[in-house]
Structure 1
């Protein structure tokens, strides 16, 4: 096991011990109290380990929130200086913009992505596509059949596969019902908001590939 040292201070996490009449207990997942001495040592060690990790995770989460707020404020202050001193506006109409050091070795990208949802027209599209599937022979267009089925197989939240939905829109199929279904999908798309993403990158030289500074735990 690799050894890592850090001066990072974890957030306070309760130790789970509940004193009752001068004796320490711990509650189980059902709320039942168990005397500490009756809990298996490996279970106590597991409890302690999870609480330790939780302390660092909570502190790190708080730091990431502060970092995002500081990034927003710092870039906003810079944009304000550009607007006041030089009558310049950074970025494009959607709010996407890039900031870079003078030596070209570090940059911060701001990307604004639309949040979309789908209206009732999507069900009209599905009905039209079902008509296509019912009338096409079993042997014809098997790849399109599979794609349609996978697209409209909803997940636990009842959401269709959005990536595959846009794949359908890019396909060219000579069928009037298909074309009406694609138009219904386009009509169903609704922008319900936007979300801002920050990407921070660095490179060792001007001709080296960019390396993203990892903040996402899954990619660290």
Structure 2
């Protein structure tokens, strides 16, 4: 009984069986490469080439982030130990700059926030206000309220618009109670650090961000 000899080349999307080449289809079966239209083969090759570049870039960005935080962390520890100095403010935002003032690295700490059940109390109070004001309320206030409590794809309220409500000065006890409920609803669940890189030709020029975001490249 003959034994089939397999050789898989996943990077090429090819399986060789007894010397014959096959391509794995979307249903999990193997199609003889000669039966696959040339346009599909070309598309397959192009996608695999792009994905290979993307994987390489992703790995490099991961290494960049890991090495950057490790280097900056080592600098922070050295300064703290040797000079008793600490870079950054209370929230942990930090800026590191080259001696010639032409390069800098910034680390920004952003709080991760969710809202507790008090937010629903706030919404009820705000709805009472809007229903009573109806004709007299400014349309922009209604628009902000509508956006604030419309949930996104993850089911979360629009945080920036909720915070915008807190900036509105309205002389109504129910409204002010609603704003207090919003403040009570805020829960800080953690924080995340973002690192950004900048450079400039001279100290008289504006800072230019070093682009890492694919959408902005």
**Alignment CA distance shift 1:155-1:30 (3 Å):** farther
CA RMSD of the aligned region, Å? 1.8
Kindly indicate whether the alpha-carbon contact (under 8 Å) linking 1:13 and 1:51 is maintained by their aligned counterparts in 2.
no
Q: How far is the alpha carbon of 1:94 from its aligned partner?
A: 1.8
SS at match of 1:137: helix
Written as runs of structure 1 = structure 2, the 5 A alignment for 1:1-220 is 14-20=11-17, 22-138=19-135, 140-220=137-217
Distance, in Å, in 2 between the alignment partners of 1:133 and 1:67 is 50
Conserved 8 A contact 1:153-1:160: yes
> Matched residues in 2 for 1:138 and 1:170: separation?
22
Q: How far apart in 1 are the matches of 2:58 and 2:139?
A: 47
Normalising to structure 2: TM-score of the pair? 0.89
Post-superposition Cα deviations, 1:27-69, rounded to whole Å, max 9, x if no partner, equal 3333344332222211211111111011111111111111111
Instruction: Give TM-score scaled by structure 1 length.
Output: 0.88
Larger radius of gyration: 2
Distance in 1 separating the partners of 2:29 and 2:120: 48
Question: Residue 13 of structure 1 contacts residue 54 of structure 1 at CA under 8 Å; is this kept in 2?
Answer: no
Give, in whole Å, the separation in 1 of the partners of 2:174 and 2:48: 57
Structure 2 SS opposite 1:159: coil
The DSSP-based 3-state class of the residue aligned with 1:64 is helix
Unaligned runs of 5+ in 2: 1-8
Deviation at 1:91, TM superposition (A): 1.4
1:159 and 1:90 mapped to 2: Cα distance? 34
Q: 1:143 is paired with a residue of what secondary structure? A: helix
Aligned residue-pair number: 209
- Structure 1 distance, partners of 2:164, 2:129, is 17
Measure the CA separation in 2 of the matches of 1:116 and 1:164: 14
| Unaligned residue ranges in structure 1 (runs of 5+) | 1-11
Distance 1:30 1:176 in 2: 63
- CA distance in 1 between counterparts of 2:147 and 2:11 reads 45
